[in-house]
Amino acid sequence: MSDHLDRSGYAIPEHTPRKVTLMYLLVLQALPTMGVLALGAPSYAIFDQPIPWMGMSLVIGGVAFFLTYLASYPWRYRIIEGLVAPATWLVLHLAGRV
């Protein structure tokens, strides 16, 4: 039987899924947050414009989702990581903080 019919679940037979730990999930949320803020916030400060926090939170969630995709995490972790920043913005917005 040829290899393309192998239904083992992984494209690479030697591949083993990465163990999901809280430290990895925190890093995969902190990296996009620092990266997006470091790249986006100075441009708004230079032109003296308010930072669009809703848009920033959506971009942070998208980058976090993409990084968990690259890390080959299961779908539930990708969705959770992608929704942390927008949910944080929503809660702060409803509380009147942002």
Q: In angstroms, rounded to a whole number, what is the distance separating the alpha carbons of residues 94 and 89?
A: 9
User: Average pLDDT in the 30-54 region?
Assistant: 92
**69: nearest Cα among 18, 35, 8:** 18
For residue 1, pLDDT beyond 80: no
Q: In angstroms, rounded to a whole number, what is the distance separating the alpha carbons of residues 86 and 56?
A: 9
Q: Are 18 and 72 in contact (CB under 8 A)?
A: yes
User: Average pLDDT in the 7-36 region?
Assistant: 79
pTM for this entry: 0.78
Q: Are 80 and 55 in contact (CB under 8 A)?
A: no
Residue 74: pLDDT band (50, 70, 90) is confident
Q: What is the DSSP letter of 19?
A: P
For residue 2, what pLDDT is reported? Answer: 53
Q: Are 36 and 56 in contact (CB under 8 A)?
A: yes
Decide: helix, strand or coil at residue 9. Answer: coil
